[in-house]
Amino acid sequence: MRIDLDRERFEGTMAEQAAIGATDDGGLDRLALTDADREVRDWFVSKLEAAGLDVRIDAMGNTFGRREGVEEERPVLVGSHLDSQPKGGIYDGPLGVLAALECLRTVEDRGIETTRPIEIVNWTNEEGSRFQPAMMGSGVWAGAENLEEVYATTDRENKSVEEELDRIGYLGETPAEPGREYDAYLELHIEQGPLLERAEAQVGTVTGVVGLSWGELVFRGEPNHTGPTPMHLRGDALVAASDTVGAIRRLPTALGERTVATVGSLSVVPDSVNVIPGEARMTWDVRDPEDSVVETARERVLAEARAAAEREGVSLSHEDRLHVSSVAFADRCIEAVAAATEACGYDARRLPSGAGHDATHLAGVCDTGMVFAVSEEGISHSPAEYTSPEDCYAAANTLANATLELAGSE
Ligand SMILES: [Zn+2]
């Protein structure tokens, strides 16, 4: 069975949410657990109720709407997040939640009975801008984060997650955990990268999430006067760091076309025009779909840094900050998404996600898959973020048909 979503209604719903926390430049400012977040949540709950779904809110404020199935107990879960970055776009998150809503509305309109229940979800604080870590609600729900620690987390004004959840009325009563077995989880999200657009594809079938390694390198040399100190007597921490920046930039060429490597932060002490830099601190961020390649990349970063430190006669220390293993999505979810793109006649492309999503946590709970919508010029976390109405609709239809396939229908 193939379904087509009501495009006009779907676009209308997207426009309604985009007005909540809207900024003058067409973006969104809907940080987690703010008044704007409360407003969009209240609006969302009213939509779930109007669609005849059973609403429940858990102790993390994750909000679910359930439609019963006829046989199997294990639900298919589908959703994303409604919170945004402080200067975010209108697609990152809401597109996935509202495509899921439109899917359930259409299934209801057509009186389709599914074998399994279907649940829709809005995860709390995916963005991690006001409260860290990102993907907080799904992390607690999946058992990857500790509820009490997360509750105690505070923002810059010292307000805690727990008190803000309570203040906006979303400190729910259901425990923030699966509580039952789930059959599968699907999430639609914008790609946030340029690959689909470059490939002139209409929609993406996501195969998994890349793994990553973050860390910090500190070079320490001899701060001294730039005038009287001869070149051969210097230990310049910034020169060693700069050499390493260049080496990291060239690293992916040697490792494969899917590797990305970045130095996003560099600071120098004392940071003065006439003092030889005595200390340089820099970060690394390397990612690849293969964990072994991430590890190789990390080792190469350290080897390049050591060589640069030795050449310059400065010392080096390093600290690993974060390691995230890659996630391979379940074959049956990948195939359900691929089959949906075919049934709808969309030009699709398979690709891994370069960024983490709530789906990363869900993959630890049940079979998981994702659909990507085209991101124009790969821009996100910006008011300039854009996905054309055609591409929004193609991704939403793909999600709907893949969901129906997993939920089973006559
Ligand atoms: Zn997002």
pLDDT for residue 409: 87
Of 266, 299, 324, the last residue of a domain is 324
CA of 345 to the centre of ligand 1 (A): 26
Based on the structure, what is the number of domains in the chain? 2
Which positions of the chain have pLDDT values less than 50? none
Both 138 and 227 in one domain: the answer is: no
CA of 80 to the centre of ligand 1 (A): 7
Of 291, 324, 357, the last residue of a domain is 324
Closest CA to 347 of 200, 248, 160: 200
Q: Which two tokens stand for residue 251?
A: 């690293």
Distance CA 141, CA 151 (A): 13
Both 31 and 99 in one domain: the answer is: yes
Both 231 and 336 in one domain: the answer is: no
Query: Which residue matches tokens 């609006």?
Result: 43
Q: What is the CATH number of the domain that holds 287?
A: 3.30.70.360
CA of 153 to the centre of ligand 1 (A): 21
CA of 190 to the centre of ligand 1 (A): 8
CA of 209 to the centre of ligand 1 (A): 13
CA of 72 to the centre of ligand 1 (A): 30
Q: What is the CATH number of the domain that holds 73?
A: 3.40.630.10
Closest CA to 67 of 409, 359, 360: 409
Query: Which residue matches tokens 């923030």?
Result: 176
CA of 132 to the centre of ligand 1 (A): 15
Distance CA 323, CA 106 (A): 41
Of 283, 309, 324, the last residue of a domain is 324
CA of 92 to the centre of ligand 1 (A): 5
Exposure of 62 in the CB half-sphere (CA atoms within 13 A): 28
Strand partners of residue 185? 77, 368
In the DSSP assignment, the letter for residue 93 is T
In the DSSP assignment, the letter for residue 88 is B
Both 331 and 201 in one domain: the answer is: yes
CA of 105 to the centre of ligand 1 (A): 23
Residue 68: count other Cβ atoms within 10 Å of its Cβ.
12
Both 335 and 300 in one domain: the answer is: no
Both 52 and 117 in one domain: the answer is: yes
- Is residue 1 in a domain? no
CA of 283 to the centre of ligand 1 (A): 24
Q: Residue 184 in contact with residue 406, Cβ under 8 Å?
A: yes
pLDDT for residue 72: 79
CB-based contacts of 341, cutoff 8 Å, min separation 6: 202, 203, 205, 348, 398
CA of 309 to the centre of ligand 1 (A): 39
Both 161 and 282 in one domain: the answer is: no
CA of 83 to the centre of ligand 1 (A): 8
CA of 236 to the centre of ligand 1 (A): 41
Identify the domain containing residue 302 by its residue range: 211-324
pLDDT for residue 374: 98
Both 380 and 315 in one domain: the answer is: no
Collapse the DSSP code of 114 into the 3-class scheme (helix H, G, I; strand E, B; otherwise coil) and give the result: strand
CA of 4 to the centre of ligand 1 (A): 25
Residue 328: count other Cβ atoms within 10 Å of its Cβ.
15
CA of 187 to the centre of ligand 1 (A): 10
Q: How far is CA 51 from CA 67, 169, 267, 360, in A?
A: 9, 22, 53, 28
What is the distance of C-alpha 285 from the center of its chain?
Answer: 16
Both 181 and 218 in one domain: the answer is: no
Both 302 and 346 in one domain: the answer is: no
- Is residue 318 in a domain? yes
